[in-house]
Amino acid sequence: MDITKKAKEELENRLDKIEEFIASNGLGSTYLKKARKTQRDINLALVLSGVVTIAGIALWMTIKNNKD
């Protein structure tokens, strides 16, 4: 059992390395890099807009409570 488990893990590790190599050097690698960068930029924009929205709501609530 232990030998088959080790063999399976070794094969999975090799496949992961091959997939990483293909992703970085194979066909479509530049498209994949652009897609990852675009996804990262979108995620950052969403986080920043969420932070600004929460800060705006908090500021609005603070100003509203001070006027009353």
Is the CB of residue 23 less than 8 Å from the CB of residue 32?
yes
Mean pLDDT, range 49-55, rounded to an integer: 97
- Give, as one character, the DSSP assignment of residue 1: -
Q: What phi and psi values does residue 26 have, to the nearest 5 degrees? A: -85, -170
Mean pLDDT for the chain overall:
90
Distance CA 51, CA 42 (A): 14
- For the chain, the first-to-last Cα distance in angstroms comes to 73
The confidence band for 68, taking pLDDT boundaries of 50, 70 and 90, is low
If one counts the domains in the chain, the total is 1
Mean pLDDT, range 45-53, rounded to an integer: 97
Give the range of the structural domain holding residue 43, as residue numbers without chain letter: 2-67
Residues in contact with 32: Cβ distance below 8 Å, sequence separation at least 6, in sequence order: 23
